Amino acid sequence: MSFFKATDTNVSERSVFSLAWPIFVQTFLSILLGYIDTLMTSRYSVIAVGGIGNANQIISFLALAFSIISTATTIVISWMLGAKKDKEINVIYTLSIYFNLFLSVFISLLILIFHRNIIALMNVQKAMVKPATDYIIIVGGFIFFNSLFYVYGAIFTSNGHTTIIMIISILMNFINIIGNYCFLYGPLSFLNLGVKGVAISTVTSSIISVIISIIYFNTHISGNISIKYLFPFPLKMLKLLLKVGLPAAGENISYNIAQLCILRFVNTISIVAVNTRIYANIFTSFSFVFSIATSGAISIIVGHLVGAKRYDDAYKRVLKVLYVSFIFAVILASINFLLSPLTFSIFTKDKSVIALGRKIMFIGIFLEMGRCINLVVIKSLRSAGDIKFPTYLGMASMWGISVLFSYILGLKLNMGLIGIWIALAADEIVRGIIVYIRWIKKIWVQKAKIVESDEFKFEDY
């Protein structure tokens, strides 16, 4: 098992590559396997693809509630490891697991009770309502398994154990594909479960991921998770997690609400627009996979460097990673555009979808320029303790540019999905420029000094 080992106390000295390559492989293969997953479902039913796409958008949004603690867990544990505050870490581990478990069970109940209202609110096309309903009841009802995996993933990431997350994520996707095949085309197809079978495969993969995570934590992570650490209740620590997590998750929450609004716009255009958007989102995922990997890796390192008060080192390493990521993002987005007639034709024979998809992928080149900067710099700002600014900026830009101009260009000026994609690109570019300026001006340094403040001291433990 030495393959999984990571140096917990020297993460700040590790190369970005050593942390990024598992994230890259995990993300790339997960997208690729998701590509196959969607292809399998599209061969079964185009309507099912749209229904599942809408349901997943809703589930992803609701899941942001427990990303609040998992995001904070990654940041705070990185600070503590960098500052060598080992005795508080067990409390953070336990608090994060139990808080997210309680919150996610509550969300599962909300989904089971109000799923019809939520789907109606999204203005899902009538033909897609049943598959969306079938999927959201099963996957949403067991969403607490995803919640636990989020927290374990945060713990592994902050300790520098990115390889195990890669392995678990790939395994989850393989289980999904095998399950989908069995229910849609294979030995279980006689049950005629369709979308319900796809949902069962998803839930099964989540359950297995949590089991593996628990085993790995107990055998490879220095620390313990026990309810005894919650007595007396660590209120001060919970306040710190919420102080870090709420603004940090705020940008993602704002983004997903904005995407739900934009999806509602798309749903009013046509089924062609709906399916083109779903396929385009899959393909554009390949464009920013390198940025996701490097931003994830550098954010871990920044957290440890900030914990050790090495601010200049954090500043230089982020800029170095950003320049490399930007070049790769543009290259990958350009390749994506050139291959779009071929890639879209794999999923559909509808010439209108293929033609629209090619135009979307061209606009995507400019979108990825801005998104790359946002991924790398915003994650670094959060890890440095500059958490509120990206949230406020994100809310202003997403709603003032992305949503507003999606409505104006896409619906009012009848530019359809093309107008919506132009608005999305403008949002990413404007935000990218602003956060880049903030980083190079080192405004974040004063925020980073939270590790020296009284609220970061836990004498009670």
Is the pTM value of this prediction over 0.85? no
Tens-place pLDDT, residues 207-240: 999 999 999 999 999 889 999 999 889 988 898 8
pLDDT at 455 over 60: no
What is d(CA 447, CA 337) in angstroms, rounded to the nearest whole number?
40
Tokens, residue 358: 């090619």
Give the mean pLDDT of 66-85. Answer: 84
Q: What is the overall mean pLDDT for the chain?
A: 87
pLDDT at 3 over 50: no
Name the residue with tokens 């001060």.
236
3-state secondary structure of 112: helix
Which runs of consecutive H residues, i.e. helices, occur in 270-350?
271-287, 289-307, 311-347
pLDDT number for residue 15: 84
pLDDT number for residue 450: 60
Among 9-13, 262-266, 337-341, the least confident range: 9-13
pLDDT number for residue 83: 75
pLDDT number for residue 38: 67
What is d(CA 412, CA 200) in angstroms, rounded to the nearest whole number?
40
pLDDT at 7 over 50: no
User: Would you say 388 and 245 are in contact if contact means Cβ atoms under 8 Å apart?
Assistant: no
Name the residue with tokens 């390559």.
21
CA distances from 12 to 16, 73, 90 (A): 9, 17, 21
Tens-place pLDDT, residues 327-343: 989 999 999 999 999 98
Give the mean pLDDT of 270-299. Answer: 86
What is d(CA 367, CA 361) in angstroms, rounded to the nearest whole number?
9
What is d(CA 122, CA 103) in angstroms, rounded to the nearest whole number?
23
pLDDT at 89 over 60: yes
pLDDT number for residue 461: 42
Give the mean pLDDT of 80-97. Answer: 85
What is d(CA 224, CA 217) in angstroms, rounded to the nearest whole number?
8
